[in-house]
């Protein structure tokens, strides 16, 4: 069963209202889009037939117009030759051709109106289809976002994550213990020759920095006394 019963239902539809009332909005919007696409194909086919009919009628109209002109020329010829009887027949044939031209002109006007209406319907239908597709994308995004939120919430509240974090803390504690054990082996070991020289170099550096600091303080003191 279709969502719409005729083209005017689609053009005048309120898609948001329809989806708000639907139990399954995503299913309904798919049905709406499918019916709109089917209707669009049908309307375009009708437009194509109308354009083909117009071309055919235009050809017939031009043919009858040509005949009317030819009968008029024949009537003039008959009059010139003194054959009024033939002239009357030619004029009668011309009038019939002219009547057909008038009838076909009216058909062309009607077809032009039909094509214009169809073109307007196509514009409105495409606008509604665009609106429905945008609504479908919005529903899909909302569904995906909700699914992601549920999935993340489940993961966050999953006890397996807490267990993994606890195991990580235990591994980290074990590493700390191993590092501490490695450092403990360095305690109480005799100093190597390299250690001795390193301490001497460090003492020299400290003494040099100390002497420089004393010199700066003495200079500031001297300047204060002179002032």
> Is pTM beyond 0.85 here?
no
Domain ranges of the chain: 7-157, 193-227
Q: Flag whether pLDDT at 203 surpasses 60.
A: yes
Please, what CATH class does the domain formed by 7-157 belong to?
A: mainly alpha
Percent of the chain scored above 70 by pLDDT? 79
Q: Over the stretch 99-138, which tens digit does the pLDDT of each residue have?
A: 999 999 999 999 999 999 888 888 888 888 898 888 888 8
| Residue 1 DSSP class | -
- What is the model's pLDDT at position 1? 44
Among 79, 71, 1, 10, smallest CA distance to 42 is for 10
Q: Flag whether pLDDT at 205 surpasses 70.
A: yes
């Amino acid at each position: 069963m279709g969502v719409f019963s005729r083209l005017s239902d689609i053009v005048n539809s309120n898609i948001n209202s329809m989806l708000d009332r639907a139990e399954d909005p995503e299913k309904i919007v798919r049905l709406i889009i499918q019916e709109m696409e089917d209707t669009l194909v049908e309307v375009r086919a009708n437009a194509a037939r109308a354009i083909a009919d117009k071309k055919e009628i235009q050809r017939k109209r031009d043919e009858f117009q040509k005949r009317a002109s030819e009968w008029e020329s024949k009537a003039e010829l008959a009059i010139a030759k003194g054959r009024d009887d033939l002239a009357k027949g030619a004029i009668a044939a011309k009038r019939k051709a002219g009547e057909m031209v008038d009838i076909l002109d009216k058909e062309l006007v009607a077809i032009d109106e039909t094509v214009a209406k169809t073109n307007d319907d196509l514009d409105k239908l495409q606008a509604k289809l665009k609106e429905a597709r945008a609504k479908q994308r919005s529903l899909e995004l909302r569904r995906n976002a909700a699914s992601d939120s549920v999935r993340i919430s489940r993961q966050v509240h999953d006890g397996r994550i807490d267990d993994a974090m606890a195991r990580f803390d235990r591994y980290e504690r074990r590493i700390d213990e191993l590092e501490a054990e490695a450092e403990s082996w360095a305690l109480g070991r005799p100093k190597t020759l390299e250690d001795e020289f390193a301490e001497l170099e460090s003492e020299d550096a400290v003494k040099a920095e100390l002497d420089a600091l004393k010199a700066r303080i003495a200079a500031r003191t001297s300047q204060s006394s002179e002032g």
